[in-house]
Amino acid sequence: MAAALGALFALTLCAATIPATSSEKEAGAATEEKTAVKEEKAAAKKASEKALTPEERAAETEKKQGREASAELEKQYKLVKDEAVNARVERIGKELAKLANETEVHAHYGSPKIAKFDYVFKVLDDKDVNALSMPGGFVYINKGLLDYVQSDDELAAVIAHEIAHISHHHMQSLLKEQSKLNNQIAVALLAAIVAKGSAGDVGNLMMGAQMVQIARLNGYSRQAEKDADMTAIAYLAMSKSNPVGILTFMERLARDEVARPAIEWGIYQTHPYPAERSRDILDELRKRNVPIDRRAVTQAAMAELKKSEKKPDIFEAWVGGAKMFEAAAVDGQSSEDRAKAIVEKLNTLLNSGISLRDIRRTSDPPTISARGELLLQVTEADASLSAPMTAADILREAYNALYRTLVEQDLQQVY
């Protein structure tokens, strides 16, 4: 049942989106029978007390589906009990849930009709990078995803995406399409049998129908994913979070998906194209004039000033966690002042989004500059401080540290 549940509701990174068969649903339902009967009686009583509008009835159905699916899910997974972890997810989730309950956002898929759901946020003790939502307001974040995000802004992006699946009633649309399709397949099969087709023909027809089903479902789930991304951006833009988090999260996912061994692509054939989604997200952020500062929402490498552990009064410039340059005192400028000037210039440049192609190196005199601005010049004093390293060696070490940092950064930005 875990796989079926995952297939039904895990829409963020959905591996496969073939809904549960009716027999699987029945098997799950049977275990829930007593609770379900009780709940139905209570619901019937409530309904007779007060006539519900069609929208309210639909919302009640979603809540009921969500409650049942959540109960089933929580039998399969352990929940994380750590209070700080839950408080973080809840703080971010509640703000976005309030926005979703108050603001109607255009729906590219599903329906934008507001149903005021009581959103619940829980953390699954599971190492997969995933999050999932159930109709009616149930949001689950895997612990693996909490380890993967690099900021609250990225976490907010994932939660906003899951809320969008719920607030735009995606599951209802998906189920409707699915039941239509099942009828079509049944009609096709019946036609084949009535026409006394050979067993082989029926087999081929079934295979074809299944393929159509999968292909069409992918279409729907991609539409649902796109709508959840666009709606998430709308929610994030109204929230305290920086909407750029959804871009950096998706870009990192795209990069890591590419790094996966080829064999996994077979299993992930219905996977929701993070590179394509990243492009759509970037377009939408630009349309909304959101400043694209990726460093603000990721743990991007910065330059830092460090005191030498071996040499008294000597300071070093570090970048991306590696030592870049050890500064000697030159022309009345202290080691600290020189190293500090490099660190400050470098951080300004890194924040403005420099990349490898902005960096120039000269050997005589030995310098590194970025966007035409001199970043550092290796002097005789630096060479004697770091002997037996030559000025050329020092320049190479500094350049390599910067190079590695920028390559790493450029890899994170696929465009």
Question: Rule CB under 5 A: is residue 12 a binding residue for Zn ion?
Answer: yes
63 vs 165 by CB, closer to Zn ion: 165
Q: Is 132 helix (H, G, I), strand (E, B) or coil?
A: strand
Is residue 112 reached through a cis peptide bond, with omega within 30 degrees of 0 on the bond before it?
A: no
59 vs 157 by CB, closer to Zn ion: 157
Q: How far is CA 406 from CA 248, 355, 372, in A?
A: 16, 6, 17
- 331 is written with which tokens? 């022309």
d(CA 410, CA 123): 32
Give the closest residue to 325 by CA, choosing from 334, 335, 333: 335
Question: Rule CB under 5 A: is residue 228 a binding residue for Zn ion?
Answer: yes
- Contact segment (CB under 5 A) with Zn ion among 12-20, 118-126, 304-312, 328-336 equals 12-20
Minimum CB–partner distance for residue 221 and Zn ion (Å): 8
- Contact segment (CB under 5 A) with Zn ion among 178-186, 221-229, 320-328, 359-367 equals 221-229
- Contact segment (CB under 5 A) with Zn ion among 10-18, 136-144, 198-206, 281-289 equals 10-18
Q: Quick one: angle between helices 152-167 and 244-258, nearest 10?
A: 90
Minimum CB–partner distance for residue 243 and Zn ion (Å): 17
Q: Is 225 helix (H, G, I), strand (E, B) or coil?
A: helix
Minimum CB–partner distance for residue 103 and Zn ion (Å): 20
Give the closest residue to 8 by CA, choosing from 19, 16, 22: 19
17 vs 241 by CB, closer to Zn ion: 17
CB of 69 closer than 8 Å to CB of 10:
no
12 vs 65 by CB, closer to Zn ion: 12
- Contact segment (CB under 5 A) with Zn ion among 4-12, 46-54, 372-380, 389-397 equals 4-12
Buried b (16+ CB within 10 A) or exposed e, 9-21: bbbbbbbbbbbbe
The footprint of Zn ion on this chain (CB under 5 A) covers a number of residues equal to: 4
Question: Rule CB under 5 A: is residue 11 a binding residue for Zn ion?
Answer: yes
Minimum CB–partner distance for residue 216 and Zn ion (Å): 18
Minimum CB–partner distance for residue 250 and Zn ion (Å): 11
99 vs 228 by CB, closer to Zn ion: 228
d(CA 97, CA 162): 10
Considering Cα of 265, then 176, then 45, then 26, what sign does the dihedral take? negative
Minimum CB–partner distance for residue 292 and Zn ion (Å): 22
Residues that bind Zn ion (CB under 5 A): 11-12, 225, 228
